[in-house]
């Protein structure tokens, strides 16, 4: 079995002690996340939910998954994170994280991998933070466990992270409870928590869906910043094509568990080949999808 790479990617958010440039990234770099012909089945009902999802994700790049609700986007992410709901299983296909087949991972190896190599932000921040503990110490605790930082250093680093996700008063936020924060602030706290152990891959599953348009745009900018500065590889899941148009290099269009269309974002959005993609685009035109596409690209 191959050993897992825990190499962290340098960059401004990686702590100030290392001065290396951002990770060399590009389509030729080896993928940090590889999904090959993934099939997921609900083995209680026998229902096949996801039929053959494949993509490769390299550092500094973003893959988007779009499609209507119930099309299998979240289960695809959960499979890659090793957190499928109890009665779901990967029935065929392969997921590799940093070159390691996840089927071979022990629970202990998963624990080491989560946060440190692959992190995730989901739609509902409240359910991932403990409402009875101040948010700062929750992140600091992750740093103490994953990065073996001392109490004081963990606090310092947490405040640095809260600042990095553009929270205006990180010292104040550190000591606040979830109910004291707005949706946008919570989502930023969650991103800070997801990136605190320097993952190489971040999965953002409808991470901005519950937010108003302005805050959503800010969070998307933040994700783009992280990708540039830290060489983070992103999986962005959204039912919103505009989000994908703004962030993603490649897009997968899912419908009822199938990938109906996949390719470079511009190609898919400008020259959709599948009827369903055309429908999605038509639905989004009223929301100003065009504003995200360079005019010269529109044919």
Ligand X SMILES: Nc1ncnc2c1ncn2[C@@H]1O[C@H](COP(=O)(O)OP(=O)(O)O)[C@@H](O)[C@H]1O
- Which residues are near ligand X by CB under 6 A? 49, 67, 69-75, 85
Determine if 246 is a binding residue for Mg ion (CB under 5 A): no
Contact of residue 70 among ligand X, Mg ion, none (CB under 5-8 Å per partner type): ligand X
Contact status, residue 209 vs residue 224, Cβ threshold 8 Å? no
Measured from each CB, the residue nearest to Mg ion is 74
Q: Of 7 and 43, which CB lies nearer to ligand X in the complex structure? A: 43
Q: Of 12 and 85, which CB lies nearer to ligand X in the complex structure? A: 85
Rounded distance between C-alpha atoms, residue 164 and residue 230, angstroms: 12
Contact of residue 71 among Mg ion, ligand X, none (CB under 5-8 Å per partner type): ligand X
Contact of residue 85 among ligand X, Mg ion, none (CB under 5-8 Å per partner type): ligand X
Give the x-and-dash track for 61-80 against Mg ion (CB under 5 A).
Answer: ------------xx------
Q: Of 76 and 178, which CB lies nearer to ligand X in the complex structure? A: 76
Contact of residue 51 among Mg ion, ligand X, none (CB under 5-8 Å per partner type): none
Contact status, residue 234 vs residue 247, Cβ threshold 8 Å? yes
Contact status, residue 189 vs residue 167, Cβ threshold 8 Å? yes
Ramachandran angles phi, psi of 98, nearest 5°:
45, 45
Q: How far is the CB of 233 from ligand X (least distance, A)?
A: 20
Q: Of 174 and 276, which CB lies nearer to Mg ion in the complex structure? A: 276
Determine if 262 is a binding residue for Mg ion (CB under 5 A): no
How many residues in the chain? 299
Q: How far is the CB of 168 from Mg ion (least distance, A)?
A: 30
Q: Of 78 and 157, which CB lies nearer to Mg ion in the complex structure? A: 78
Q: Of 34 and 74, which CB lies nearer to ligand X in the complex structure? A: 74
Contact of residue 72 among ligand X, Mg ion, none (CB under 5-8 Å per partner type): ligand X
Q: Of 83 and 103, which CB lies nearer to ligand X in the complex structure? A: 83
Measured from each CB, the residue nearest to ligand X is 74
Q: How far is the CB of 76 from ligand X (least distance, A)?
A: 7
Residues that bind Mg ion (CB under 5 A): 73-74
């Amino acid at each position: 079995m191959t050993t897992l790479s825990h190499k962290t990617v340098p960059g401004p958010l990686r702590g100030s002690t290392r001065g290396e440039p951002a990770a060399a990234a590009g389509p030729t770099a080896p993928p940090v996340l590889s999904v090959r012909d993934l099939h997921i089945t609900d083995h209680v009902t026998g229902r096949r939910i996801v039929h053959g999802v494949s993509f490769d994700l390299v550092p500094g790049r973003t893959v988007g998954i779009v499609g209507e609700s119930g099309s299998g986007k979240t289960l695809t992410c959960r499979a890659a994170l090793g957190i499928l709901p109890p009665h779901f299983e990967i029935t065929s296909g392969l997921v590799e994280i940093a070159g390691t087949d996840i089927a071979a991972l022990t629970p202990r190896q998963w624990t080491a991998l989560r946060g440190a190599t692959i992190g995730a932000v989901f739609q509902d921040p409240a359910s991932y933070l403990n409402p009875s503990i101040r948010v700062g110490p929750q992140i600091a605790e992750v740093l103490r466990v994953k990065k073996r930082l001392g109490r004081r250093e963990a606090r310092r680093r947490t405040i640095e992270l809260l600042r990095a996700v553009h929270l205006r008063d990180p010292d104040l936020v550190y000591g606040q409870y979830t109910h004291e924060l707005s949706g946008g602030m919570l989502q930023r706290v969650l991103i800070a928590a997801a990136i605190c152990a320097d993952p190489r891959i971040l999965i953002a599953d409808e991470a901005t869906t519950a937010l108003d348009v302005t805050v959503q745009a800010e969070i998307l900018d933040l994700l783009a910043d992280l990708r540039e500065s830290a060489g983070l590889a992103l999986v962005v899941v959204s039912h919103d094509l505009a989000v994908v148009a703004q962030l993603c290099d490649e897009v997968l269009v899912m419908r009822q568990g199938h990938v109906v269309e996949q390719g470079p974002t511009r190609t898919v959005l400008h020259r959709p080949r599948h009827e369903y993609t055309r429908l999605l685009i038509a639905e989004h035109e009223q929301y100003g999808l065009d504003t995200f596409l360079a005019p010269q690209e529109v044919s």
